[in-house]
Structure 1
Amino acid sequence: MDKELEEKNKGWWQVSARLEKSIFGVIIISSFLVIFFGSKSGSLQFLFQGTDKRIGEKEKLLRGLLNPDFDDHACVARYKSSLYRRPSPFEVSPYLVQRLREYENYHKKCGPHSEFYKIAIEQLKSGRNVESTDCKYTVFAQANGLGNRMVALVSTFLYSLLTNRILLVEMTEDSKNVFCEPFPKSSWELPSDFPIKRLAWNFQRESPESFVNLLENRSISLHANVSAESLPPFVFFDAWSNTWHIHSRIFCKDHQKIVKKFTWMITKSDCYYAPALFLYPEFENELRELFPAKESMFHHLGRYLFQPANPVWKMIERFYQTYLINADEKIGLQIRVVPYEPPSFEKVYGRIIECSEKEKLLPEVGTPNFNDSESNPTKRTAIVVFSLFSEYYEKIKSTYYENSTVTGELVAVFQPTHEVLQNSFAQFHNQKALAEMYLLSYCDKIAITAMSTFGYIAHGLAGLQPWILRTLFWQIPKPGPVCVRSMSVEPCLHSPPFLECKPNTTVDPAEVVPYLRSCEDFDTGIKLFD
Structure 2
Amino acid sequence: MARSLKLGMLVSADPNLELARSGELEGVGIVEAGEWKEKSVRTPPMAASKGGLGGGGAGGGKAASKPTVHIWVVIACLGLLAWFLLALGFFADVVRRSPYSSAITQHLQTKTWRRANPAEIDCGVVGVEGKFIPKDQQYHPLTEKGNRVGKSCRSRYEQHCLWKSSNFRPTAEFLGVLRSYEEHHSRCVEGHDLQTALDQGSAPKDCQYLIWNDLDGKGNQLVSLVSAFVYALLTRRVLLITREAQLQHLLCEPFPSSSWVVPEEVPHVRHRAKEARHGTFYARALNETAQGRPVTAPKHLVCFLSNLQKPDDLRFFCPGEQKLLEKVPWLFFWSNQYSVPGLYFVPGFRAKLNAWFPDRAVFLHAGRYLLSPRDEIWLRVMRIYTAHMAPADRRVGIQIRAWSNEYKPIITRHILSCAWFSGLLPNVSSARGANSTSSSLEDDDMATPVEDDVANRDAEDFSAARAGERVSVVLTSLRREYAEGVAEAFAEGRTEARQTVTVLSPSAEGEQRTGRMSHERKAIADMWLLSFADDLISTPRSTFGYVAHGLAGIRPIVFNRYGLDPDTVPDPPCLRTNVPGPCFIDHPHQMSCPLDGPAFDIGDSATALPEVRHCLLQWGVGVFEGVD
The verdict on a shared fold, with TM-score over 0.5 as the criterion, is yes
2:278 is the counterpart of 1:211: yes
Map 1:36-185 onto structure 2 (within 5 A). 49=125, 54-58=130-134, 63-68=137-142, 70-71=148-149, 73-111=151-189, 114-115=190-191, 117-118=192-193, 121-126=195-200, 128-129=201-202, 133-172=205-244, 174-185=246-257
**Alpha-carbon distance in 2 for matches of 1:377, 1:361:** 13
2:383 is the counterpart of 1:287: no
**Alpha-carbon distance in 2 for matches of 1:159, 1:47:** 32
2:501 is the counterpart of 1:442: no
1:463-507 alpha-carbon deviations (Å, 9 max, x no partner): 111100133333457976321101221111111114321279652
Deviation at 1:76, TM superposition (A): 0.9
1:404-442 alpha-carbon deviations (Å, 9 max, x no partner): 354211111111111010111111211110100010111
SS of aligned partner of 2:249? coil
CA contact (8 A) 2:210 2:330 kept: yes
Hey, what does 1:520 align to over in structure 2?
Answer: 616
Point out where structure 2 has 5 or more consecutive residues left out of the alignment. 1-121, 432-454, 460-464
**Alpha-carbon distance in 2 for matches of 1:101, 1:347:** 50
Deviation at 1:169, TM superposition (A): 0.5
Letter of the structure 1 residue corresponding to residue 257 of structure 2: K
Deviation at 1:222, TM superposition (A): 5.2
- Using the aligned pairs only, state the percent identity: 28
SS of aligned partner of 1:409? strand
- After superposition, the Cα gap between the structure-2 partners of 1:376 and 1:214, relative to the gap in structure 1 and judged at 3 Å, is closer
- Name which of structure 1's ranges 344-353 and 512-521 shifts more when overlaid on structure 2: 344-353
TM-score, normalisation: structure 1: 0.80
Letter of the structure 2 residue corresponding to residue 125 of structure 1: D
- After superposition, the Cα gap between the structure-2 partners of 1:444 and 1:426, relative to the gap in structure 1 and judged at 3 Å, is same
**Alpha-carbon distance in 2 for matches of 1:486, 1:273:** 19
Q: Determine which of 218, 234, 255 is the counterpart of 2:300.
A: 234
Deviation at 1:383, TM superposition (A): 1.2
Point out where structure 1 has 5 or more consecutive residues left out of the alignment. 1-45
Q: Determine which of 314, 322, 340 is the counterpart of 2:379.
A: 314
**Alpha-carbon distance in 1 for matches of 2:215, 2:231:** 18
- After superposition, the Cα gap between the structure-2 partners of 1:221 and 1:94, relative to the gap in structure 1 and judged at 3 Å, is farther
2:559 is the counterpart of 1:492: no
Deviation at 1:51, TM superposition (A): 6.8
SS of aligned partner of 1:193? coil
CA contact (8 A) 1:129 1:231 kept: no
**Alpha-carbon distance in 2 for matches of 1:353, 1:376:** 19
SS of aligned partner of 2:331? strand
CA contact (8 A) 1:450 1:469 kept: yes
SS of aligned partner of 1:54? coil
Deviation at 1:452, TM superposition (A): 0.7
- After superposition, the Cα gap between the structure-2 partners of 1:398 and 1:483, relative to the gap in structure 1 and judged at 3 Å, is same
2:334 is the counterpart of 1:268: yes
Deviation at 1:519, TM superposition (A): 1.1
CA contact (8 A) 1:517 1:529 kept: no
- After superposition, the Cα gap between the structure-2 partners of 1:400 and 1:482, relative to the gap in structure 1 and judged at 3 Å, is closer
Deviation at 1:523, TM superposition (A): 4.4
- Name which of structure 1's ranges 353-362 and 260-269 shifts more when overlaid on structure 2: 353-362
1:383-418 alpha-carbon deviations (Å, 9 max, x no partner): 111111111111222232454354211111111111
**Alpha-carbon distance in 1 for matches of 2:624, 2:311:** 18
CA contact (8 A) 2:579 2:622 kept: no
Deviation at 1:245, TM superposition (A): 5.0
1:295-321 alpha-carbon deviations (Å, 9 max, x no partner): x11111111111110111011011111
User: Taking CA–CA contacts closer than 8 Å with sequence separation of 6 or more, which of the two structures ends up with the larger relative contact order?
Assistant: 1
Q: Determine which of 560, 563, 573 is the counterpart of 1:473.
A: 563
Letter of the structure 1 residue corresponding to residue 349 of structure 2: F
Hey, what does 1:18 align to over in structure 2?
Answer: none
2:579 is the counterpart of 1:502: no
Letter of the structure 1 residue corresponding to residue 618 of structure 2: F
- After superposition, the Cα gap between the structure-2 partners of 1:47 and 1:67, relative to the gap in structure 1 and judged at 3 Å, is closer
Hey, what does 1:432 align to over in structure 2?
Answer: 522
Hey, what does 1:300 align to over in structure 2?
Answer: 365
SS of aligned partner of 2:228? helix
- After superposition, the Cα gap between the structure-2 partners of 1:361 and 1:216, relative to the gap in structure 1 and judged at 3 Å, is same
- After superposition, the Cα gap between the structure-2 partners of 1:332 and 1:64, relative to the gap in structure 1 and judged at 3 Å, is same
Hey, what does 1:33 align to over in structure 2?
Answer: none
SS of aligned partner of 2:323? helix
2:468 is the counterpart of 1:378: yes
CA contact (8 A) 1:104 1:184 kept: yes
CA contact (8 A) 1:331 1:444 kept: yes
- Name which of structure 1's ranges 83-92 and 94-103 shifts more when overlaid on structure 2: 83-92
2:395 is the counterpart of 1:330: yes
Residues matched between the structures, number: 463
RMSD over aligned CA atoms reads 3.0
- After superposition, the Cα gap between the structure-2 partners of 1:470 and 1:193, relative to the gap in structure 1 and judged at 3 Å, is farther
TM-score, normalisation: structure 2: 0.68
SS of aligned partner of 2:222? helix
Deviation at 1:259, TM superposition (A): 0.9
Letter of the structure 1 residue corresponding to residue 616 of structure 2: E
1:182-203 alpha-carbon deviations (Å, 9 max, x no partner): 111111111111122278xx64
CA contact (8 A) 1:388 1:419 kept: yes
- After superposition, the Cα gap between the structure-2 partners of 1:94 and 1:405, relative to the gap in structure 1 and judged at 3 Å, is farther
- After superposition, the Cα gap between the structure-2 partners of 1:91 and 1:225, relative to the gap in structure 1 and judged at 3 Å, is farther
CA contact (8 A) 1:493 1:527 kept: no
Letter of the structure 1 residue corresponding to residue 347 of structure 2: P
CA contact (8 A) 1:495 1:524 kept: yes
- After superposition, the Cα gap between the structure-2 partners of 1:380 and 1:329, relative to the gap in structure 1 and judged at 3 Å, is same
**Alpha-carbon distance in 1 for matches of 2:179, 2:231:** 16
